[in-house]
Chain A
Amino acid sequence: MSNLISLQNDSPSVVQDEWTWVKLPEVQVEARKQAGKVVLFKLTGENSVSASQIADTVIPASGKIILPLRVFIERHSEIANRVAQSEVGVWLATHESLDDLLKNQNDINEFPIVAIFVERFADGRIFSLGNLLRSRYGFKNELRAFGDVLRDQLFFLKRSGFNSFAVRADRSAKDAIAGLHDFSRPYQGAVDDARPAFNRYHRGT
């Protein structure tokens, strides 16, 4: 059973994934500590991908692939023609910078998909990234959240411009769908509807 929810015209369904998520090779990193506690979140802008990880990433020779942003940038020559054929998307993690993406790709709408990886569901940077991609940079295609994606954040993800949700593997995507409609008439304007309630409805004068 697929764990991917696709949202079309506010109507969600569980669909098969036609994309292959290209992972970075795993490396051993020592747990860092701050104030006696293990650091759970990477700092925005911190460089977390090594040159050897980039070099060692296995890029499937065919099919639709979602590449790590750093791999897309550093090994661009290998996949340039596939980008033109709409076979390449990119993913970045919540601590990575959209500037890097935009600097290295003139038209982000050449990507059929951009995915944001959220390592921990409590990392709300994903909402700002989605919002910026949609409202500032005009990304129109599939925007996917993957990683620690859980039902109780789906409503916020949807409102932040995401239209595809790869629910964490141990949870049911079918159950999670309910979370997309927790609230019927939210107050503030957001990506899915820019108008705040006071412009969306007649609230009296």
Chain B
Amino acid sequence: MYKYDEIDQQIVDERVAQYRDQVRRYLAGELTEDEFRPLRLQNGLYIQRHAPMLRIAIPYGLLSAKQLHKLADVAKKYDRGYGHFTTRQNIQLNWPKLENTPDILAELATVEMHAIQTSGNCIRNITTDQFAGIAPDEIVDPRAIAEIIRQWSTFHPEFALLPRKFKIAVSGTQHDRAAVQIHDIGMEFYVDTNNQIAIKVWVGGGLGRTPILGVVVREHLEWQHALTYCEAIIRVYNLHGRRDNAYKARIKILVKALGIEEFRKQIEAEWSHLKDSPNTITTTEMARVAKHFEAMPYENLPAHDASFDAAIASNPVFKAWVKRCVHAHKIPGYRAVTLSLKPHGQPPGDITSEQMHTVADLASEYSFGELRASHEQNLILADVKLSDLLTVWEKARADGLATPNIGLLTDIICCPGGDFCSLANAKSIPIAQAIQTKFDDLDYLHDIGDIELNISGCMNACGHHHVGHIGILGVDKDGSEWYQVTIGGKQGNDASIGTVIGPSFSAEEMPDVVQKIIEVYLKERNADELFIDTARRIGVAPFKAHVYAKEGVGA
């Protein structure tokens, strides 16, 4: 993974000093609340319901064992001994003290970490596929370019105070796992007819109050121009985005208002001035950064391992875990492993300091000292030998990290919601827990198969409910908490936004509502048909009919 040189380190160290002074001035009354807000947000610090919340950046989801050990220690020392992985591959601490945040960041800087631009109206953490570099369907490893974009976007002077937050995702696979279509800019890398790396640029996607899928603004962009093309897009947005209304301030609204033709015209006109300007990526810089992402020193292994095959044959629990949590790898004899942060009944994405140490140790021992966070809020060991899988499973299981539910109904994507977030309309974690508890039977879960259930506590859609096969959104009705349900959302190449099935439900009703939705699917599905395919085929009507059917009427 990318290792800082002295320039990177200096920027992070100077940031700590700058932020420390900002906190000092705020506490001394030299900065007003309004003046301090954007400063602290651009350093990941929210003021939450109970305490501040600090969001720490994990660029494109990549972490070293050393960094995770440090996060574990920081969570222990300054917080309540746990952290929460977010849907943007970052990690949040829910209970730090404002006065301690400069020290936390100073500690993190010693392991090349920071909280720069994890919130606020600026370019946020660059996200990508959690299997980058090892996925069999990968065409281009997007991590080098993601790192180059990270550096370019860090304290970009022109884009320091945008109309609204700005999210960029990069992907280099056949099957999009980076959700490029729901980002302000999505960059899809491919190899063009001249055998050169090129980018298909998506723009104007986003969830929130007005969910919109992105559109292609450029089919073909040579990789060298990734930064200058982004500059053209963001400059037009910075000047013309709707600053008068926070709900209309994302770039998606501008793209919609102008229409993609006109928008494209403006971008191209802007870019004609910026093309080939000094921020054009050089081959030298690409090579320098790409070196950090070279293939791991893999052993030459056979495609099969007898001990692994034997364990599968004799141990059905291990087998079930392998089926859900172990993924293909492009190198023979290796697999990627997802460690589930979704044990039933726990807040999705939460992890204790002890578990962090366990995962970090597993990474050191079995996966070249690195791991990844996924936007589905799980952790991944990307390079595990087949022959080590059984041991990894045993150790992970001993620490509650081996729930075999990846991709299943209980692998819920869930935002912190009303338990922590001051913007929330409703709690989301207890809904996730109640659903997990109701669907605690693993055989039943496996029978239901691949399905994505996403929960957000409000319109901001941090839990990506619009693109959940089943989406749940917390809404406020006269001061009480209700939940609106959508069906048919999907992430990936054929992304779609879910359709609302009808009036909202109370928290107590939610597990049964999900149950009924599942019943319809089980009844209607063709052999081997996945939930989303059934939902797309039959539409929402049958679900609606069953969920809202009056029981016992006229009995």
| Interfacial residues, chain A to chain B (CB-CB below 8 A) | 32, 34-35, 37, 39-44, 121-125, 127-129, 131, 136, 150, 152-153, 155-160, 182-191, 194-199, 201, 203-205
A198→B246 contact, CB < 8 A: no
28 contacts between A and B (CB under 8 A): A37-B245, A40-B243, A41-B244, A42-B244, A44-B240, A121-B161, A123-B161, A123-B243, A124-B121, A124-B159, A124-B161, A124-B238, A127-B157, A127-B159, A127-B161, A136-B273, A152-B22, A159-B157, A183-B14, A183-B18, A185-B10, A186-B155, A187-B151, A187-B154, A194-B278, A197-B151, A203-B7, A205-B288
B161→A205 contact, CB < 8 A: no
Closest chain A residue to B11, Cβ basis: A183
By a CB distance below 8 angstroms, the chain B residues around A186 are: 11, 155, 157
Q: Mostly helix, strand, loop or mixed at chain A's interface?
A: loop
Closest chain A residue to B37, Cβ basis: A122
B14→A184 contact, CB < 8 A: yes
Cα distance A194–B274 in the bound complex, in angstroms: 12
Known A37-B246, A203-B7: A195·B278 in contact at CB below 8 Å: yes
- Quick check: is B555 within 8 A (CB to CB) of the other chain? no
- Taking A41-B244, A124-B163, A183-B155 as given, write out 5 further A-B residue pairs in contact, using a Cβ cutoff of 8 Å, ordered by the A residue number: A127-B160, A129-B239, A152-B39, A156-B157, A190-B156
Known A43-B244, A198-B288: A153·B155 in contact at CB below 8 Å: no
Q: Shortest CB–CB separation between residue A88 and chain B, in angstroms?
A: 26
Known A196-B152, A196-B278: A124·B162 in contact at CB below 8 Å: yes
- Stretch in B279-287, B344-352, B517-525 touching the partner: B279-287
By a CB distance below 8 angstroms, the chain B residues around A153 are: 160-161
Kindly supply a per-residue 1/0 record for chain B positions 5-24, scoring 1 wherever the CB is within 8 Å of any chain A CB and 0 otherwise.
Answer: 10100110011001000100
- Quick check: is B158 within 8 A (CB to CB) of the other chain? yes
Q: Shortest CB–CB separation between residue B224 and chain A, in angstroms?
A: 12
Cα distance A175–B286 in the bound complex, in angstroms: 40
- Quick check: is B38 within 8 A (CB to CB) of the other chain? yes
Kindly supply a per-residue 1/0 record for chain B positions 139-172, scoring 1 wherever the CB is within 8 Å of any chain A CB and 0 otherwise.
Answer: 0000000000001111111111111000000000
Chain B residue total in the interface (Cβ 8 A):
46
Kindly supply a per-residue 1/0 record for chain B positions 493-519, scoring 1 wherever the CB is within 8 Å of any chain A CB and 0 otherwise.
Answer: 000000000000000000000000000
Q: Mostly helix, strand, loop or mixed at chain B's interface?
A: helix
B244→A34 contact, CB < 8 A: yes
Closest chain A residue to B156, Cβ basis: A188
By a CB distance below 8 angstroms, the chain A residues around B38 are: 122
B245→A39 contact, CB < 8 A: yes
- Quick check: is B247 within 8 A (CB to CB) of the other chain? yes
Closest chain B residue to A122, Cβ basis: B161
Cα distance A41–B10 in the bound complex, in angstroms: 35
A121→B288 contact, CB < 8 A: no
By a CB distance below 8 angstroms, the chain B residues around A124 are: 121, 158-163, 238
B7→A201 contact, CB < 8 A: yes
Q: Shortest CB–CB separation between residue A2 and chain B, in angstroms?
A: 20
By a CB distance below 8 angstroms, the chain B residues around A131 are: 158, 235
B246→A35 contact, CB < 8 A: yes
| Interfacial residues, chain B to chain A (CB-CB below 8 A) | 5, 7, 10-11, 14-15, 18, 22, 35, 38-39, 121, 151-163, 227, 235, 238-240, 242-248, 273, 277-279, 282, 284-285, 287-288
Q: In the complex, which of the residues A32, A152, A189 contacts B278, with contact meaning CB atoms closer than 8 Å?
A: A189
Q: Shortest CB–CB separation between residue B168 and chain A, in angstroms?
A: 14
A187→B10 contact, CB < 8 A: no
Q: Shortest CB–CB separation between residue A97 and chain B, in angstroms?
A: 9
B245→A128 contact, CB < 8 A: no
B245→A34 contact, CB < 8 A: yes
By a CB distance below 8 angstroms, the chain B residues around A32 are: 244
B244→A187 contact, CB < 8 A: no
By a CB distance below 8 angstroms, the chain B residues around A205 are: 284, 287-288
Cα distance A203–B281 in the bound complex, in angstroms: 14
Closest chain B residue to A171, Cβ basis: B30
By a CB distance below 8 angstroms, the chain A residues around B161 are: 121-124, 127, 153, 156
Q: In the complex, which of the residues B35, B273, B278 contacts A199, with contact meaning CB atoms closer than 8 Å?
A: B278
B243→A190 contact, CB < 8 A: no
Closest chain A residue to B161, Cβ basis: A124
| Residue from A150, A189, A195, A196 whose CB has the most chain B CB atoms within 10 Å | A196
B152→A182 contact, CB < 8 A: no
Closest chain B residue to A194, Cβ basis: B278
Q: In the complex, which of the residues A156, A189, A191 contacts B160, with contact meaning CB atoms closer than 8 Å?
A: A156
Q: In the complex, which of the residues A39, A125, A136, A150 contacts B35, with contact meaning CB atoms closer than 8 Å?
A: A150
By a CB distance below 8 angstroms, the chain A residues around B22 are: 152
A190→B158 contact, CB < 8 A: yes
B288→A128 contact, CB < 8 A: no
